Structure 1
């Protein structure tokens, strides 16, 4: 009788590859390259990670490629984020659903914030939404994503949690990036900024912005971030995490899937990755394997509900 050790049967990728569904630079490219480097530095993978940039359809081209042509590739993972679930929820990837791939895990998040000018007479999130309830047209929210995009949806999530029934009345104005949205706020053209902590922090430090709430479960770690209150502690249970993570082909073997889930989980817990997070403004968000899959399903469901309410989908 020949006995084969479990170690000999353990899966390891021969040619590890990460698809970044966009051109070089930006969040998805960062996700692939930084995780690939850290996996190799930690000797979790035996050869360097090949990063393939596959732009198109805001992630849709890569999604279709994995589903139709790479469905059984055990060596492949794909960078994803809140933008991925938003587009799946709104049907922006034609004919695609979340169950056509396997969801691996997160590597951190950039949490949403709602902020006003430093000298605004509004000091808390409940005060802000009280004004919205009294006169929805009196306040305009500005963000760096399109109508129905992530900056817009964060406001709607918070508004619903604050008890505002007709969120369609909330005025949202889209700009080309968070920086332009803040400029419009400081110029007095809009009254509220919606964005992420990483883009708001510099304006807080310069004395221009006042953060009313961070859309995280708990206060963020570190002296620089811990001073900002959460929406939750103000009685408004809204979480808005622009997560970063990975999915993998649906037809990937269970052994390969388990390997990648463990690899990402162990990397996330490493000192090396903690340093990458600190240097790039990423905040804690730990979701792996089945927990991450449920998280994705919940994100898609809530995004669909919000998108229906504002007439983006039927």
Structure 2
């Protein structure tokens, strides 16, 4: 039979153990995010591509818009290039739970995991805001026998048509996928950027080239190239490019969209997510943002939070079909 003294000692020991375990749990617990949370100091905005490209420009515009809000923090763009975006996006996984980190990404975040074995998908991050949409225009040299995109599709059924591509996972790859679905043979020469693709076209290394509208426009104005079609839903609102018919107008079921948007790491608090969505909405009112849309000939977009997530799910299903 246990003596009363021994029972008291056991109870005291058990109480001490519970107290110690509780203290340990509290020490290791993640502090609750206050309801009035806002970032302080330096906020990183990661771009998984080199400075000077489309993703880098979009990140710097969004960072400028956020910094103009004077919210007590400063957004710094950080470039971590390599592996067609894989290096930067894989590195961003380590920011899980960090409300002071942002990621500016684009459609290749959907397509890259379809082509390469990478440790992430678009679902690995928290979607905040889709702020723009890009597409592609298909061009050829001024002396090319092709006048339209259906001309290219028909020619590819009889002989190999060579095109350039600035990557296996971006908008260029989606354009090529649309052509391949028409049947025919296509050869693809890889390049590091849209500028290099267009240089290759002028140098007669390739027959046709998908390009961003802003990159192709000067060559169309100079007469060195001609436009075959756009892959947009409707024609560009532009004196030069507005004359170019869409692929759909020409009878091809071919539309290509490249989204641009901002993410936070996985595991952030809902308070932090809402803060960044509100701030990005305000940043999209800036003069720099609207000048950027005009200069890069982009379509404005505004899909935030759950709406952006739903769009990404639909987009992912669509590009899986395009890249089959």
Same fold (TM over 0.5): yes
- Distance in structure 1 (CA, Å) of the matches to 2:286 and 2:95: 30
Q: CA deviation at 1:70?
A: 1.8
Return the match for 1:212 from 202, 224, 228: 228
Per the alignment, residue 39 of structure 1 pairs with: 66
What's the secondary structure of 2:249's corresponding residue? Answer: helix
Long gaps (5+) in structure 1: 1-7, 310-314
Cα distance change, pair 277–101 in 1 and its aligned pair in 2 (3 A): same
Cα distance change, pair 100–122 in 1 and its aligned pair in 2 (3 A): same
- Distance in structure 2 (CA, Å) of the matches to 1:288 and 1:123: 40
Matched, 1:101 2:128: no
Instruction: Quote the RMSD (CA, aligned, Å).
Output: 2.8
User: Which is greater in Rg?
Assistant: 2
Per the alignment, residue 289 of structure 1 pairs with: 305
Q: CA deviation at 1:258?
A: 2.3
Length, aligned pairs only: 290
Long gaps (5+) in structure 2: 1-33
Return the match for 1:129 from 153, 163, 172: 153
Matched, 1:237 2:237: no
Cα distance change, pair 287–125 in 1 and its aligned pair in 2 (3 A): farther
Cα distance change, pair 289–234 in 1 and its aligned pair in 2 (3 A): farther
- Distance in structure 2 (CA, Å) of the matches to 1:30 and 1:159: 31
- What is the 5 A alignment of 1:90-239? 90-93=115-118, 95-133=119-157, 135=158, 137-146=159-168, 150-160=171-181, 164=182, 166=183, 169-239=185-255
- Distance in structure 2 (CA, Å) of the matches to 1:184 and 1:29: 23
Return the match for 1:29 from 42, 56, 73: 56
- What is the 5 A alignment of 1:51-90? 51-67=77-93, 69-90=94-115
Return the match for 1:12 from 11, 35, 38: 38
Q: CA deviation at 1:36?
A: 1.2
TM-score by length of 1: 0.79
Q: CA deviation at 1:239?
A: 2.5
Deviation by residue 1:284-311 (Cα, 9 ceiling, x = unmatched): 344332332233233333333444x3xx
- Distance in structure 2 (CA, Å) of the matches to 1:265 and 1:276: 16
TM-score by length of 2: 0.77
